A and B are shown apart, each in its own frame.
Chain A
Amino acid sequence: MDIKKLLLRNETVLIFAIIIFSLVIGSKSPEFFTLANLFDILRSSFVQLLFALGVLIVIISGGIDVSFPIVGIFSGYTAVIIMQKLELNPESLFIPIVLAVLIGIALGGFNAIAIAGFGIPTLIATLGTAGIFRGVMLSFIGASFISDIPIGLDKFSTADLVKFESDAGTLVRLHVLVIPVAIITILVALLLSRTIFGRSVYALGGGTEPTRRLGISVKRTQAKIYMLVGGLSGLAGILYVSLQRKANPYDLAGSELDVIAAVVLGGASIMGGYGTVFGTVLGVLFINMIKNNLVLLGVSSSWQRAAVGVLLVIGITIQAISENRKNKRQKSASDSEVA
């Protein structure tokens, strides 16, 4: 019974999907199974994973956030502008990151006010604030591309933990970010599973009324969630700027779907109440693996978006079907009890 349950878990399905997909691509082009490719997939996943962790928390709580990419680029871009305007030490890596996280928390605070303060549905509130943030950034803070970002950030983009030349002559690099991102991932997992706050997030996803009756403040929990997500998005935004070595205020907008897709594929229930960090990590890796390697599979680049769309539809369909089955089983169980 337990093994069956384990096999039916979303994470297990995803692991199988990743393995099958790897084998298919690997059999077509052996360059897939190189360390360089693995590290490339990791590198392209860092920023998305940070965003995804934030989205996971929101989705577990029963909400949805579509403003996080805008919060991210707003924080990253504004942090760079502040660094330049105030002529802060350009060597520093610490100052821009702290700035971006603080800006992210402040923007998350706006979401918190709209959602926790006034009870606006989360999708509509974050759609609105995304428009406000983007509009304010592009009309008041700046609309031009900055290529000379502070040296500290620029240098960080090439800070590699491991760097060597492989036998085939390609450069194999593992970015140092893998450590902090792994630590943050573990911290979020612990936060969700081991703290009162984390358990309140799950409770909130189960329903607001039961949460209130448990004696948990719904508003306070929601406010904390959206500020935390803002902070995470701010961090992701500044790291994005650093890895890209440029601050482009038009970037990231529209990337919310891929991240939400990764979280949902990772098994988080959009209705709230269920979701794991491990599943999210797998979801992000899976999406990035596919995006990076569809070309190797022979899918032309213009059909990539459609392929991601098909994958998403399949993912949510499987989830919905298993959910339907569970409901039916519960229903028939309760029916037989009555009889």
Chain B
Amino acid sequence: MMNERASKFSTAGLLADRKVTQLMAFTAFTFLIFSYFSSDIFFTPENFISMAYQVPEIAILSIAVMLSMLTGGIDLSIVGISNASALIASYIMTQKMSEEGAISNSWILIACLVGILMGLLCGAINSILIAVLNVTPILATLATMTLFNGIAIGITNGVSVSDLPEQFMRIGNGTFFGVPSPFILMLIIAGFVGYLINRTGLGLKVFLIGTNRKAAQYSVMGDRKVIAWTYVISGLLSALAGLIIASRTSAASPDFGNSYILLAIVIVVLGGVNPMGGFGTVTGVVLATIVLQMVSSGFNALRFSQFFYLAAQGGVLVLVMILNAVLEKRRISKSINKSLGS
């Protein structure tokens, strides 16, 4: 009995590792292919630096989606939240600048804090709908996505805010010991979320809820509270991603990154997160982001259209899901055969 349990645990551990290993191999493979076909554009330091600037924002958004997916839900409002937060922060900054001609660092900090607060607030609205009122996550976040987007459009009359202060732009465009600072921010955030889900009680509960909500309910551990926290954290991460995007591009717009929802879900699924909940790793998600960014840069270098990349995203999503389904079926039939044989 003990042995059986121990072996079960070790295979689960192996499986987790296997998914990350597969992904690493896949990353290397993508890297080699594009480096071979486009050695003059893809395989250059400039390209890798520009990728290091583009990866963080989408990686952070994907981690936000992953968190909600681990509990068996989904958060479709991430892009709405990130745009709303970035717009509010940018609005405060540009207002201050036009009033006084210049802006102090403390006001930039205040603007960023207000943006983050906006993210937390949006996350809290999702939490209330999902955890308190029992609305299905897809539906709740579909509705709030429209709402947050609408608020962003309403505040700015639908136009984008640009010409943000230079000090603010330095966050998204600067380097820290030679590494682009957004990339470092992403590593910190990924580390934080990784710690949260793997080393804390909250994280354990997140996995339990995703694996079996009923069991979680019967164990009286406050499943609603856990779910509420996931959506608040997801809102916080989206706001951070929004601020990074604003600071990198020096602009915020209500319809920025509409395609990011599909992309984030593709990344999360490719990163080995189970869409039904209960399984996923931060490492997998970050690796998957890097793979897709390489595909995007590679397609760019090879002069494929951006729509071809869109089709590729969809294709990757469907193929990964099909592969998972087929492998799962084979694993089940194998284990049935095994138990029948013995």
Docked-complex contact B147 and A313, CB < 8 angstroms: yes
Decide: A139 near B307, CB < 8 A? Known: A305-B150, A313-B147, A317-B129: yes
Docked-complex contact A121 and B129, CB < 8 angstroms: no
Docked-complex contact B136 and A127, CB < 8 angstroms: no
CB of B110 within 8 Å of the partner chain = no
Minimal beta-carbon separation of A67 from chain B (angstroms): 9
Range of interface residues on chain B? 35 or more
User: Cα distance A142–B216 when bound, in Å?
Assistant: 51
CB of A175 within 8 Å of the partner chain = no
Decide: A64 near B138, CB < 8 A? Known: A136-B311, A139-B311: yes
CB-defined contacts of B309 to chain A, threshold 8 Å: 135
CB-defined contacts of A138 to chain B, threshold 8 Å: 305, 307, 310
User: Cα distance A316–B135 when bound, in Å?
Assistant: 7
Minimal beta-carbon separation of A16 from chain B (angstroms): 21
Residue of B nearest to A324 (CB): B134
Docked-complex contact B275 and A121, CB < 8 angstroms: yes
Interface residues of A in 92-123 (CB under 8 A from B): 114, 118-121, 123
User: Cα distance A143–B140 when bound, in Å?
Assistant: 34
Docked-complex contact A264 and B139, CB < 8 angstroms: yes
CB-defined contacts of B133 to chain A, threshold 8 Å: 317, 320-321, 324
Decide: A261 near B146, CB < 8 A? Known: A123-B138, A124-B275, A317-B135: yes
CB of B171 within 8 Å of the partner chain = no
Q: Quick one: CB contact mask for A130-163 with B, threshold 8 Å, 1 for yes?
A: 1111111111000100000000000000000000
CB of A310 within 8 Å of the partner chain = yes
User: Cα distance A114–B315 when bound, in Å?
Assistant: 11
Docked-complex contact B318 and A132, CB < 8 angstroms: yes
Interface residues of B in 244-293 (CB under 8 A from A): 258, 261-262, 265-266, 269, 275-276
Docked-complex contact A135 and B135, CB < 8 angstroms: no
CB of A49 within 8 Å of the partner chain = no
Docked-complex contact A127 and B144, CB < 8 angstroms: no
Interface residues of B in 214-258 (CB under 8 A from A): 258
CB-defined contacts of A124 to chain B, threshold 8 Å: 265, 269, 275, 317, 321
Interface residues of A, CB < 8 Å — how many?
A: 50
Docked-complex contact B147 and A270, CB < 8 angstroms: no
CB of B158 within 8 Å of the partner chain = yes
Q: Quick one: CB contact mask for B63-102 with A, threshold 8 Å, 1 for yes?
A: 0000000000010000000000000000000000000000
User: Cα distance A319–B133 when bound, in Å?
Assistant: 10
Q: Quick one: CB contact mask for B116-157 with A, threshold 8 Å, 1 for yes?
A: 000000000000010001111011101111111111011011
Decide: A130 near B275, CB < 8 A? Known: A143-B307, A257-B145, A305-B153: no
Docked-complex contact A323 and B310, CB < 8 angstroms: no
Q: How many residue pairs between the two chains, A and B, have CB atoms under 8 Å in the bound complex?
A: 152
User: Cα distance A133–B140 when bound, in Å?
Assistant: 26
Minimal beta-carbon separation of B299 from chain A (angstroms): 11
User: Cα distance A320–B128 when bound, in Å?
Assistant: 12
Residue of A nearest to B325 (CB): A118
Minimal beta-carbon separation of B263 from chain A (angstroms): 9
Residue of B nearest to A312 (CB): B143
Decide: A128 near B147, CB < 8 A? Known: A136-B311, A270-B139: no
Q: What are 17 pairs between A and B in contact, CB < 8 Å?
A: A120-B321, A123-B74, A124-B269, A131-B262, A134-B310, A135-B311, A139-B305, A139-B307, A254-B258, A257-B146, A302-B158, A305-B150, A309-B147, A309-B148, A309-B149, A319-B135, A320-B129
CB-defined contacts of A136 to chain B, threshold 8 Å: 311
CB of A214 within 8 Å of the partner chain = no
User: Cα distance A254–B149 when bound, in Å?
Assistant: 12
Docked-complex contact A304 and B143, CB < 8 angstroms: no
CB of A58 within 8 Å of the partner chain = no
User: Cα distance A135–B259 when bound, in Å?
Assistant: 12
User: Cα distance A127–B275 when bound, in Å?
Assistant: 13
CB of B15 within 8 Å of the partner chain = no
CB of A196 within 8 Å of the partner chain = no
Docked-complex contact A128 and B314, CB < 8 angstroms: yes
Docked-complex contact B317 and A134, CB < 8 angstroms: no
CB-defined contacts of A302 to chain B, threshold 8 Å: 153-154, 156-158
Docked-complex contact B321 and A313, CB < 8 angstroms: no
Interface residues of B (CB under 8 A from A): 74, 129, 133-136, 138-140, 142-151, 153-154, 156-158, 258, 261-262, 265-266, 269, 275-276, 304-305, 307-315, 317-318, 321-322, 325-326
Docked-complex contact B325 and A120, CB < 8 angstroms: yes
Residue of A nearest to B130 (CB): A320
CB-defined contacts of B314 to chain A, threshold 8 Å: 127-135
Docked-complex contact B276 and A121, CB < 8 angstroms: yes
Docked-complex contact B321 and A323, CB < 8 angstroms: no
CB of A125 within 8 Å of the partner chain = yes
CB-defined contacts of B317 to chain A, threshold 8 Å: 124, 127-128, 131
Q: Quick one: CB contact mask for A188-214 with B, threshold 8 Å, 1 for yes?
A: 000000000000000000000000000
CB-defined contacts of A123 to chain B, threshold 8 Å: 74, 138
User: Cα distance A125–B261 when bound, in Å?
Assistant: 14
CB-defined contacts of A261 to chain B, threshold 8 Å: 142-143, 146
Docked-complex contact B154 and A125, CB < 8 angstroms: no
Decide: A320 near B135, CB < 8 A? Known: A121-B275, A127-B262: yes
Minimal beta-carbon separation of B15 from chain A (angstroms): 20
Minimal beta-carbon separation of B85 from chain A (angstroms): 16
User: Cα distance A137–B310 when bound, in Å?
Assistant: 11
CB-defined contacts of B321 to chain A, threshold 8 Å: 114, 118, 120-121, 124-125, 128
User: Cα distance A264–B138 when bound, in Å?
Assistant: 12
Minimal beta-carbon separation of A80 from chain B (angstroms): 18
CB of A307 within 8 Å of the partner chain = yes
Residue of A nearest to B318 (CB): A128
Q: Quick one: CB contact mask for A288-321 with B, threshold 8 Å, 1 for yes?
A: 0000000000001011111111101101110111
Docked-complex contact A313 and B150, CB < 8 angstroms: no
